[in-house]
Structure 1
Amino acid sequence: MPAPSERFAGTATNIARACAAIERDLTARHRIADLARDSGMAQHHFQRRFAEATGETVAGYLRSRRLERAAIALCQTDARILDIALDCGFETHAALTRAFKAHFGITPDAFRRDGLDPALCGAPPRPFLKPVEARSFAMACDLVEMPQQWLCWRRATGMIDGRYFPDLAATRAAFGELARILGKDEAAFAAGYAQGPAAFEDQSAVAHFGALFDTERSLAWAEGRTRIEAGLYAVFPHKGPLNTLHLTWHRAARVGLGRLNLTLRPGWMVETYLTSRIEAPGTALSALVHLPVHKSTIGKA
């Protein structure tokens, strides 16, 4: 029998796989019982773990992605609303209209004509992704005034199943080379993002990974360096495998900030690594997600 930490790690990985299965075919009838069975969990346990990992219910996750796709189609095509409804997993024009109005507060016809109030839009570059928060969802973070830092980086491009670093072997080797170069120098291994991905599968998404320093440095290893501005950051913990970090990013940036009455400010988002093991145990603190937020939010988290 696997140890408890191994079971928790497996749970996070299975939730990530369930998300990927949903994203691969948003029109399919994704029955919770089937997703739970494929994840090796009882249905009630799967639903609880899914909400803990993503901040959303299973049904809410599916609905928000279908409606995001519908909103994009309404903006970018002149397709009939019925055809958009069918392409997004709704059986009728009326079914899409009911769901769309309940979700965005506006009908598809009015949305196509007038657009969405900017105050109701999500964070770019996915303004129409509006997660359906699970009632049981709880979120906490530390608000930290961080000093200016410098990230010396290499680029990794593309996403697979919602995860950056599609070539994990190459990334691991690059970090190993960097560790040998740095030796005992004080630096945090990290990755920085100028913005989030434009979709669950985004071949143009860019991660800048390398080492974070307190002062400006030049490294022959690096392709470039970027200043990470000083300011207030909401810091969210990630436990378990590093290949499930995208779940924590979604839970924090898309769901958690709203729950905590925090809003993103311009600036790079950063994750720092506390382990070199991609397959970290499920209960181990393995990374920290740092999101720049507005100072006016102090005291609300």
Structure 2
Amino acid sequence: MDIKLIGKSPKIREVLRLISRVAPLGVQVLISGETGTGKGLAARIIHQLSPRKDKPFVTVQCGAIPDTLIESALFGHEKGAFTGASTRSKGFFEEAHKGTLLLDEIGDSSMAFQTALLHVLQEEEFCKIGSTRPTKVDVRIVAATNKDLRKGVSLGTFRQDLFFRLNVVEIKMPPLRDRDDDCMLIAEHFLHFFNQKYKKKLTGLSKEVKKIFMQYHWPGNVRELIHVVERAVIVEQSSLITPASLPPQLLEINQEIDNQNEDSMQFHLPLFDKPLKNAKREFEKKYLEGLLRRVNGNVSMAANLSGLRRQNLYLKIQQYEIDLDQFRKKK
């Protein structure tokens, strides 16, 4: 699978611009964002665009290491350093020598882990368990988190000094619901990928599925979308992905769309009892409200679908006193 961020929305373009600026410099980077937004992928792209691209890229699952194994996992141990240490072992820092070390979900790390990590970053060296000879550190640190580390600092669950060390440059990965039309681009990309993987010949998404994808709020973000497309490619029997091949949580959205369509039919009939000018105004307001509901209040997406310029759409929203917040999904 290609290592690239798919999309053309302003937010993902800004992420790519920032990555291109910081990747060659070797500075420490903190990547933040919800689960499934592509933080690990962004870290790999940073590595690929850096002078260390031909060296190792090593990932540490920070919350998965017990406190009793932190030093051994990070720094390694010499043969005979403790009972059961029958061979010399490399730690993550040694495995990533001259490459990139991704500290994944650093917000889940224990205080003991944070203290050990801070010591290495400050001293730029470490000692393996069972050795007194220091080893110089030559790795590029990239940290990723779905937690608010600033909040962790204020609550005392994350070390402030470590936060400042890691947060030289922060890259915020946007959730999929804020990425305008990227949803369709990602879906089509992975439709092609899974077609090849499973030797299928699906040609695209049905209109109904496109509506569902646009309406759904994607709590699992890009990762959830990829799994949904993979499932659909596997189970779909026709040439297009249809609602029948989608998981239950998306079918609920399909029912909501049907209900909205029924509601939209109901407001047409009374318009015939009004003067044309008033009927046109009422229809336009209802149209805009239905469109904004469909895209969860995303003005850029609504502008694309309606064919209006963004600023002109904003003027109409103000003219009809439409409250955008009522259409936006609450986190």
TM range (shorter): under 0.3
Pair member with larger Rg:
2
Question: Would you tell me which structure has more strand in proportion to its own residues?
Answer: 1
Higher helix share: 2
Return the structure number with greater relative CO, CA threshold 8 A, min gap 6: 1
